[in-house]
Amino acid sequence: MKLTTAGESHGKALVAIIEGVPAHLKINLDKINTELALRQKGYGRGARQKIEQDKAELLSGVRNGETLGSPIALCIWNKDYVNCLEYMSDGKCDKAKTLEKSVTKLRPGHADLAGVLKFEQTDARNVLERASARETAIRVAAGSVFKEYLSALGVEISGYVREIYSVKDQKEYTFDEIKLAKTTELGMLDHGKSELAKLQIDALKENGDTAGGVVEIRVRGLKSGFGSMMTYAEKLDARLAGALMGIQAVKGVEIGMGFDCARTSGKQVHDEILYGENGFSRKTNRAGGIEGGTSNGEEIVVRLAMKPIPTLMQGLQTVDYLTKEKAVADAQRSDVCAIFALEIIAEAVVSEVLANAVSERLGGDTMSQVIARYNQLA
Ligand SMILES: Cc1cc2nc3c(=O)[nH]c(=O)nc-3n(C[C@H](O)[C@H](O)[C@H](O)COP(=O)(O)O)c2cc1C
């Protein structure tokens, strides 16, 4: 399967094309729109989320609620684009000028400087419009299709927020407990910690500052054998890490115990193997469900670290690209914390990687072929 996205933050629309999805996968637009609404949720989001109420349109590849086997095209219209046009035409409001204005006071932590140099631009807006995390809306819509594909095989994906700024929730939760995270304000399962994190977000906002955090994504029900130890490019952990690092603002990915593996001994890390009525299993799951780049049948556990949002209302020191004079970085409306959204986006990205790994191994023109092949596996 192949996913391509296009679209700028304040352009007309975001679009996605997904190739290689088998025929007869049921697609429910309401489910896609529920995921999109979740991506816009979360304490600490900026004003843009009030303007956009993302709804996906299916342009091709689906008829009567089922895929045809042809490329699927999805689209989300940017409401802010129309706002810009309206404001510009009546000339009464300078909001449009804000959205359309050029950015030359380069923002640290953004693609601005690297982008203007690489693409020989004098206005960083020509770079930032695509680099913006607005693009993740269409990845979430596409991710919903991959999730449906995995769900048809009994594979479930869920996640929650473990850390925001200095608030840490280190409790271990079951997969069923994690499912409740989406009903909370911040994606955190511990109410007390969530309230504390809200206070911290408020204090940071007051100070013109921002926060990041850590999310955990879990996958239940994926059989062993997906990904491969035979070539490095096929390794499932490598593919997950690469894809997840492709999400804006993600600066670290760990699988299972991750970095903590390096800080303890082999006895405290490796999962002993058992055999019983249900075949092979493990005493523990410190490997996070992947060994030798291949799923081992245990839950997949992936954690992602998100850096603090780089647009600061009390801007950092920078340089104006045109004058080369010292300046304060450009700032426009922005999130203070977007960690809840990251959890939703990460689920979509994990779904894409896993759906691809399944599709490569099992092939299939139709979903019934894929399901039959999956059910034959041990
Ligand atoms: C869901 C989400 C929302 C984001 N919202 C903002 C925002 O409002 N303002 C901002 O400056 N950066 C925001 N970011 C982060 C930037 O998009 C990102 O840091 C920037 O594009 C540079 O990419 P890099 O951090 O991967 O180097 C957001 C990221 C995500 C995942």
Per-residue pLDDT of the chain (378 residues; tens, 9 = 90+): 999 999 999 888 999 999 999 999 999 999 999 999 999 999 988 876 777 789 999 999 999 999 999 999 999 998 877 665 554 445 454 454 445 678 999 999 999 999 999 999 999 999 999 999 999 999 999 999 999 999 999 999 999 999 999 999 999 999 999 999 999 999 999 999 999 999 999 999 999 999 999 999 999 999 999 999 999 999 999 999 999 999 999 999 999 999 999 999 999 999 999 999 988 999 999 999 999 999 999 999 999 999 999 999 988 999 999 999 999 998 877 899 999 999 999 999 999 999 999 999 999 999 999 999 999 998
Residues with CB under 6 A from ligand 1: 46, 109-111, 131-133, 136, 247-249, 307, 309-311, 334-335, 338, 341-342, 345
The residues facing 283 across adjacent strands are: none
CATH code (residue 281): 3.60.150.10
The residues facing 317 across adjacent strands are: 328
Residue 247 to residue 26: CA distance in whole angstroms:
27
- Angle between helix axes 339-362 and 367-376 (nearest 10 degrees) is 80
Distance between Cα 338 and ligand 1 center (Å): 8
Distance between Cα 250 and ligand 1 center (Å): 9
pLDDT at position 278: 87
Pocket mutation for ligand 1, best pick of 54, 118, 132, 201 (most atoms within 8 Å of C-beta): 132
Distance between Cα 132 and ligand 1 center (Å): 6
Residue 33 to residue 28: CA distance in whole angstroms:
9
Alpha carbon 358 to chain centroid, angstroms: 20
Contacts of 377 (CB under 8 A, 6+ apart): 223, 224, 225
Contacts of 298 (CB under 8 A, 6+ apart): 271, 281, 282, 285, 287, 288, 289
- Reduced DSSP (H G I as helix, E B as strand, rest coil) percent helix, strand, coil of the chain, to 5: 40, 20, 40
Nearest CA to ligand 1 atom 22: 110
Residue 137 to residue 56: CA distance in whole angstroms:
9
Pocket mutation for ligand 1, best pick of 99, 217, 312, 335 (most atoms within 8 Å of C-beta): 335
pLDDT at position 82: 64
Residue 356 to residue 197: CA distance in whole angstroms:
36
Residue 160 to residue 214: CA distance in whole angstroms:
9
Pocket mutation for ligand 1, best pick of 248, 253, 330, 336 (most atoms within 8 Å of C-beta): 248
Distance between Cα 91 and ligand 1 center (Å): 30
**Tokens at 169, concatenated:** 């929730």
Report residue 290: phi and psi, to 5°: -135, 125
Q: For residue 260, give the DSSP letter.
A: G
Residue 212 to residue 164: CA distance in whole angstroms:
6
pLDDT at position 11: 87
Residue 160 to residue 364: CA distance in whole angstroms:
33
Distance between Cα 232 and ligand 1 center (Å): 29
Distance between Cα 293 and ligand 1 center (Å): 29
3-class DSSP state of 66: strand
152 close to 372: Cβ distance less than 8 angstroms: no
Residue 288 to residue 164: CA distance in whole angstroms:
22
14 close to 5: Cβ distance less than 8 angstroms: yes
Which residue, among 167, 165, 138, has the nearest Cα to 59 in the 3D structure?
Answer: 138
pLDDT at position 106: 96
Contacts of 11 (CB under 8 A, 6+ apart): 78, 81, 129
Distance between Cα 194 and ligand 1 center (Å): 22
The model carries a pTM of 0.95
Q: Measure Cα distances from 308 to 110, 146, 165, 277 in Å.
A: 11, 29, 8, 47
Overall number of domains in the chain: 1
138 close to 16: Cβ distance less than 8 angstroms: yes
User: Atom of ligand 1 at shortest distance to CA of 111?
Assistant: 22
Residue 202 to residue 186: CA distance in whole angstroms:
13
Which domain, by its residues, includes 70? Answer: 2-376
